[in-house]
Amino acid sequence: MLPWVVRRTGLPLLSLRCVDCRSESATTGEGRFRVNANGKLLDVWLLVRCVSCGRTSKLGVHERAPVSSFTLAELDGYHANDPELVASTLLDPLFARRNRFALDWNGAWRLDAPSARLDDAWPVRVEVVFDDPVPVRPERLIAHGLGLSRNEVLRRIKCDIPLRRPTSAGFTFTVLAGD
């Protein structure tokens, strides 16, 4: 079984409408949190910037959360703008839903696929693993990874999940010999 790995190469952009210029793309840039303490309660935001006009917005991560509900590592992470914490916050589906944005993964991920010697033994089985939750269309990923046309993919690939529906959960497929 050949292992393929999908992983991010950076942080995805956010599809989020700017209230100033109506552009629909924002970035976390270097990744910065803002923390505001109010007695024993904390507000935490992730700052994002419109890629078109540069306007900064605050997206709520925690709202009036008791300081005692955070671990020390979390508090340090928010204050130090820890890149791993920025990434895990941005990729948290609940955070995206609460703040009404979708992730734009264009150019922010790659497929690591060992070069396949496809003539050796048929059929070939491939296991796709996701290191990061990048939604990919299996049909396109397989075409790209094997250098096949979409038509060849449809003809030669046996897969137990739908080829056209984006997924970010691991799957396996089988490549049948060409004609």
Residue closer to Zn ion by CB (options 15, 23) is 23
- 55 touches Zn ion by CB under 5 A: yes
Residue closer to Zn ion by CB (options 15, 52) is 52
The span of 13-21, 63-71, 77-85, 129-137 binding Zn ion (CB under 5 A) equals: 13-21
- 18 touches Zn ion by CB under 5 A: yes
The span of 23-31, 75-83, 118-126, 140-148 binding Zn ion (CB under 5 A) equals: 23-31
Q: What is the dihedral of CA 90, 93, 98, 100, to 10 degrees?
A: 80
Sheet holding 171-175, edge to edge: 109-112, 2-8, 124-130, 171-175, 157-159
- 52 touches Zn ion by CB under 5 A: yes
Distance CA 87, CA 110 (A): 16
Closest alpha carbon to 112 in 134, 97, 90, 85: 134
- Contact of 12 with 103, CB cutoff 8 Å: yes
**7, 9, 37, 53: which one contacts Zn ion (CB under 5 A)?**
53
Backbone φ and ψ of 177, nearest 5°? -60, 150
Smallest distance from Zn ion to CB 26, Å: 8
Binding mask 105-134 for Zn ion (x = CB under 5 A): ------------------------------
**20, 92, 127, 131: which one contacts Zn ion (CB under 5 A)?**
20
- 21 touches Zn ion by CB under 5 A: yes
Smallest distance from Zn ion to CB 16, Å: 10
Closest alpha carbon to 8 in 93, 82, 106: 106
- Contact of 25 with 50, CB cutoff 8 Å: yes
Residues in contact with Zn ion by CB under 5 A are 18, 20-21, 23, 50, 52-53, 55
